[in-house]
Amino acid sequence: MAKITLVDDDENIVTSVSLALESHGHEVKAYYDGVAGLAALENEPPDLAILDVKMPRMDGMEVLRRLRRTSDMPVIILTSKDEEIDEILGFNLGADDYMHKPFSQRLLIERVKAVLRRAGVEGEDPATAAGAAGEAGKALKRGKLTLDPARHDCLWDGKPVKLTVTEFLLLQSLAQRPGFVKSRDNLMDAAYDDQVYVDDRTIDSHIKRMRKKFREVDTEFDAIETLYGVGYRYREA
């Protein structure tokens, strides 16, 4: 199954979450502070990271911020139920999902499964994967943009752009039909599992972050258009 790194300073949560994930076949490595967790994530990148927000030495948001400088690995953040700002900031920094504490182990497993499936780590049998390779696995080219789902590669005018799993799926959904408007609900369906609810601000945060990444390689990038009150569309140059 998947290799998962869990970073949380609460020993009870680390124990219970590790046992739950391991019971589903995952390999779990746990760390109790942000500095140790970041070092492990950079030295031995897992398939998925689970980060608590409030930790000693370095909080989860700073770990995520530094991680996103070099990595697009899937990340789930754990946040206190009343800290909405954590969710907004987490998505702005490139988190793929979040969970409120306290949470049920069953829900956590479903969220982990959903994020890993979106990342292509699990959830697809070989026969299905082989069949999908013909169409969904083909590289998508739209003007200066090239998306390769099989390799999770994104190029703009030949230059690599590092996208998270969620960002890649959102962009893929937009680029598949240039000129057509996608509502935020449409984009949620493309990037998230049915059991995962996100609000409009989450999609807006991902789009904002994507634009910033593309403008780092092309200051004139304007291929993702906002139609206020309606949604977004991809404009092929």
Name the average pLDDT for the chain: 84
- Helix (H) and strand (E) counts for the chain? 9, 11
What pLDDT digit, counting tens, does each position of 146-199 carry? 999 877 889 999 999 988 888 888 999 999 989 898 888 888 878 775 555 556
- Global confidence as pTM: 0.65
Chain center to CA of 133: 22
- Phi and psi of 114, rounded to 5°? -65, -45
Q: Which two tokens stand for residue 185?
A: 């609900």
Q: What is the 3-state secondary structure (H, E, C) of 168-197?
A: HHHHHHHHCCCCCCECHHHHHHHHCCCCCC
Q: Which two tokens stand for residue 207?
A: 């789009």
Q: What is the pLDDT of residue 125?
A: 43
The reply to whether omega before 102 is within 30° of 0 (cis) is yes
